Structure 1
Amino acid sequence: MRYKYVPSSGNLSIAWFKAFKHINKYGRTSPLIIRIKDIPKDISNLEDSSVRDIFDDFLNRKGQSSINTVANTIFPWSLWNPKKERKVLYKRHFRITPSIKSCNPNKFGHYFRRMIGFNTSYNDTKYSDDFINQIEHVIDTYRSGTHRHSALQIGIFDPDRDHSKSRQKGFPCLHQIAINSHGPNGKDGLGITGFYAKQLILKKAYGNYLGLCRLGYFLARELNMDFVQMNCVISEADINKSIFKKNDRDKLYKRINSLDIYNLHTI
C-alpha cells in the first residue's frame, strides 16, 4: 500500500479532490495525511460550491448521506448560536437525539455525542453537567493557562464499548482529536488534527474534513483565536468499490476536473 501526503492551502474541496484523485488511481493507501492550512476566517470561503454541489448530487444518486449529514456527526453547525452560551448547544443536541437516531441507524452513537457526553447512553435526551464533556474540559483547561498539547485532546474510541470481534461495525473510525495552539498563547492561531483508523474517501471523507473544520472554527472562537489549520491522519484510506463502481468514479472525476477551478487538472 502507498503513503500519500495531501497539502492544500485554504480550500477543503481541493484537498478532498486531491485525495480522491490519488485513491481512485492507486487504491488503498496507508497512511493518508491531509493538511489544509491558511484557513479563511469566513467559513463560507472554505469550500468551492461547484465541487461540493457536484459531489453532493453524486452521493444522493448513490443513496448515501449528504456531506452536511456526515459533517454534523462531528459538529452540528446549525445547532450552534455563537451569541448564546455553549450549554445551549449541548442541550439542543441531546434534545434532538430521537431525530438523529431516526436517520442514523448506528446504535453506538456518533462523534459529537462522545465529545460532550462520553459516559452517556445513546438513549439519553437530556444534557447534564455531570456528563464527561471533553469539549468543556479543553476550553476550561486552555483558559486556565494550561496549554500543553497532551491536555488538549478529545477521545472518541471507548474500549469498553468499542472493542469487539464483529467483522463489520463501522463506528468509530475517528478515534481521537488533538487541538494545537500555534505561537505564544495561541498568537498564530488554532489547529485541529483528527486521527482515523479507516476512512472511505467517497462515502465519508469530505464530510469528515468539513466536520473537523467546523469544530475548529467553534473552538477557535471560544478560545479567542483564529482557526488556521486542519490535519487529518488516516491509517488506511480506501473506496467502497461495491457502492462506487470504477465507471461512476471516473465520471465523477471528469465532471469535477472539467470545472478547471484552480487548475484542477494539474493536481
Structure 2
Amino acid sequence: MTKLLPATIGPLLVNETNLSRAWAKIFLHILDHSGHEITPLVLSLTGFDNDGAPKQEENLYAALDKLLSSKKQRTIEDVAYTIFPQRMWKIANGDRAKLFALYRDAFPRYQAMNPKGNNRGLYFERLISYGRGRCEGNQLEWIISQFNSRPGVRRSMFQASVFDPERDHIPDAQLQFPCLQQISFEPTPEGLVINAFYATQQVLVKAYGNYLGIAQLGAFIAHEMKTKLVRMNVTVGIAKVMDLSRNSPDMLPLIAAARECIASEK
C-alpha cells in the first residue's frame, strides 16, 4: 500500500507572463505553507517573444542553477534538453528531418553518459521514437505533417504520448522516468497552445527545466506549423519539493532571489 505523506497543500493556479516568476511563485507557495506538495498545480504561461522564447529573470535562473550544480543535479538547461534539444535544433538550422536524424544518432551516447538516469529513455526520444505508430513512431513528424497536409484536420489528432503502459507499468519502488505523460498541441487563430500533463513533478530539481523544455518544444512545433507560440499550460497531479530545508544556508540565496523576482512584478 502506498504511504500517504501528511500536510499536502491544496490546488494552485499560476497564470503568468514570465517563466522565472511562475516558478518562483510555485516554489515560494510550498515554502510559505506547511507541507511539501501542491495537489494539483496548474501553470498557464504567456508572454513569449516572436521566436517562442519565454521571458526569464537572470538572477533567479543563476541562483537556481548554482544550487542544482552544488547538489550534483542536472542544470536547468540539461533538464530542458531532455524534452527538447534546443542546441541541436540550432545546429540543424531549421531542418527538422536533420534534427530528428541528429538526435537518433546521439541518443545511444546520451544513454551511455548516464546509464542509470537514461536507461529507460528520454522525453524527446519517446516523442520521435515511440517504438510503434505512424511515421516509424515519430509522433511529432506525424502531427506536423498532418497539420501541414490539409485544412480542417481534427484537433484531437495533435497529441503525443510519453507514458507507455507496456514499458512503464512496472513494480519498481521508485521510477525517475516518465513523470511527463502526455503533450497536446492546439492551433488557434492567435497561435499555438501547448498543453502538458505530469503525474508528479519535483519543483526544486526539475520543474524550471521542465517548463523551459516544454516551451522550447512548443516553439519548435509552432515554427513548423508556420505560426507562433502563444500559451503553455502545464497540469501537475502532485508538485513536490523533497527534503525541503527552509533554513538551510545553501537555500537562502535561492529563496532571496525568488522573493526578489516576485517583488519585481509590483
TM-score range normalised by the length of the shorter chain:
0.7 to 0.9
Q: 2:64 — aligned with what? A: 55
- Does residue 254 (structure 1) correspond to residue 255 (structure 2)? The answer is yes
Match runs of 1:22-171 below 5 Å:
22-26=29-33, 27-42=36-51, 46-81=55-90, 83-104=93-114, 105=116, 106-119=118-131, 131-143=136-148, 144-171=150-177
1:198-238 CA distance string (max 9 Å, x none)? 00000100000000000011011110111111111000010
User: What is the letter of the counterpart of residue 247 of structure 1?
Assistant: N
Task: Summarize the Cα distance change of 1:136–1:261 in structure 2 as closer, same or farther, 3 Å threshold.
Answer: same
Instruction: Work out the CA distance in 1 between the residues paired with 2:62 and 2:13.
Output: 25
- 1:146: how far off? 3.9
Give every structure 1 segment of 4 or more consecutive aligned residues whose post-TM-superposition deviation is greater than 3 Å. Answer: 42-45, 81-84
Secondary structure at the aligned position of 2:137 is classed as: coil
In the alignment, is the contact (CA less than 8 A) between 1:21 and 1:253 conserved in 2?
no
The TM-score normalised by the length of structure 2 is 0.87
Task: Summarize the Cα distance change of 1:167–1:112 in structure 2 as closer, same or farther, 3 Å threshold.
Answer: same
1:80-127 CA distance string (max 9 Å, x none)? 13634211101111111233113432311010001001007xxxxxxx
Greater relative contact order structure (CA < 8 Å, 6+ sep): 2
Q: 1:191 — aligned with what? A: 193
Task: Summarize the Cα distance change of 1:261–1:203 in structure 2 as closer, same or farther, 3 Å threshold.
Answer: closer
Aligned identity (percent) is: 32
Larger deviation, residues 102-111 vs 133-142: 102-111
Q: 2:5 — aligned with what? A: none
Instruction: Work out the CA distance in 1 between the residues paired with 2:142 and 2:52.
Output: 25
In the alignment, is the contact (CA less than 8 A) between 1:190 and 1:229 conserved in 2?
yes
Instruction: Work out the CA distance in 1 between the residues paired with 2:182 and 2:211.
Output: 14
Between Structure 1 and Structure 2, how many residues are aligned?
250
Task: Summarize the Cα distance change of 1:262–1:147 in structure 2 as closer, same or farther, 3 Å threshold.
Answer: farther
1:1-34 CA distance string (max 9 Å, x none)? 310001101x111111111111222321111001
| Pick aligned residue for 1:217 from 212, 216, 219 | 219
User: What is the letter of the counterpart of residue 62 of structure 1?
Assistant: K
